[in-house]
Amino acid sequence: MKKKSRFLQTPIEPFAVEPGLTADQVLARMERISFQGRNLATAHRIWQKMLQDDVTIFLGMAGALSAGGLRLAVAHLISHRYIDCLVSTGANLYHDLHETRGQHHYVGSPHADDAALAEDRIDRVYDTYASEEEFCSNDDWIADFAATLEARPYTTREFLYLLGGQLWNTTGRDGILTAAYRANVPIFCPAIADSSIGMGLSQARQKKAGAGYIDIIGDIVESANLVIRRPRTASIVLGGGTPKNFINQASVQAEFYSDQVGGHRYALQIITDVPHFGGASGSSLEEAESWGKLASGSARVTVQSDATIALPILLSALATTAPPLLAVRVKPAFTLTGRVMTVDGLAVPSERFEEVNEPAL
C-alpha cells in the first residue's frame, strides 16, 4: 500500500450541532472546520497565549465599532486587562463619549431616505442613526473642557486620559474612555484631527487662544519608548485603519533606537479589507514581517470577518477561558497622571527616544 502523504494527517471534523454549547466549546469545535471559522478559533488560542506570556498587548480599533454596539466590549477588555494599550480612531472614542454622556445610537436602515434624515438632522452610519444636535452638544462639551486646560501641547495619550477623567467625574458611567482612565491604560489616537474630537478641539481654540494643541509626533516618540521599555509586544487589530499601522510603526521606530526590539511576538487581526489592493488595512501579517513589524516565527492569524460578528463570539469564549490566565498575569503598570507617562516605574518620555543598544533577547 502506498504510504499516506504527510499532508493528509488531520481530518476535518464536520461541526455537530448540539444544544447548550458555550462559546469556548463552539470555538474548540471550529478548530477542526475550515476557512474563517478555523481562523477565529485560532485567534482564541493565540489571545490566550498572549495572556500567558510577558508581553505588552496593543489593541487597534478602527471602523464604526462604538457606534455599532461594541464599545462596552472594548471597555471590558480594558477594565479586566485583556489588553495594555489602546490605539483608536477618533470616531470610536467620540461615539463612546456620546453614549457615556447618556445619549444613544439608534437602530436604523441602510435603505433610509437620506434627504429626510438630513432634514430631521439625523446622521446615518449604515444602519445606525444618531442625532446631529446631540453631536453638536458633544463638540461644545469637548471644546469647553479643552479650554479649561493649560494652554500647551498635549500628546493624545495625555489629553485622552484627562478627557476620560472628566467623563468619569461628570457621568460615572462605563465606557472606553472612562475604563481606560480608571484602569490606567493609555489610549493613543494618532489621527485625532480626523474626527469630531478634533472638531471639538478646534472649537476650543476659538474659545481660548492656545487651547486645543495636540502633539501627535510626541505620540510616536512616547509609543516607541514604551516598546523600548517593554520590547516584547503583541498586536490585536480590529478593522485595520490608522491604528493598525501606528501599532506596527511603534515597534519599527523603537527598533531604530534599541537592539532589543524585534517585532511583535503575537499578532491577531480581524479585518474585512483584502491584501491585493495594496492598502495597509488589508495587508497580510506575512507582509508585516517583511517590514520587521512582526518577529520571525511569531504566532499570528488573520480573521477575514466583520468585527461585529467575530468579536462577540471571541470575547464570549475568552470570558470563560481567560479569567484563570488574567488572575496570574503580570501586567505592565502605568502611571498617566503627569505629562510623562511611566511603565513599571520607568519614564516613557514624549520628547526624545530612549537609546538602548544591547544584544537582542
Structure-block grid coordinates of residue 308? 461585529
Residue 34 falls in which region: left (phi positive, over 0), alpha (psi -120 to 50) or beta: beta
**Angstrom distance (rounded) from CA 112 to CA 104:** 19
Kind and range of the H or E run holding 135: helix 132-148
Residue closest to 190 by CA, chosen among 164, 214, 163: 214
Contact 204, 333 (CB under 8 A): no
DSSP string, 46-79: HHHHHHHSS-EEEEEE-SSTTTTT-HHHHHHHHH
Angle, alpha carbons 317-38-307 (nearest 5°)? 60
Task: Write down the residue that cell numbers 494527517 correspond to.
Answer: 9
Burial of 357 (0-12, 13-18, 19+ CB in 10 A): exposed
Residue closest to 72 by CA, chosen among 235, 244, 315: 315
Structure-block grid coordinates of residue 257? 533606537
Burial of 328 (0-12, 13-18, 19+ CB in 10 A): exposed
Catalytic residue IDs: 293
Structure-block grid coordinates of residue 213? 494643541
Kind and range of the H or E run holding 342: strand 341-343
User: How many C-beta neighbours within 10 Å does residue 224 have?
Assistant: 25
Structure-block grid coordinates of residue 104? 444613544
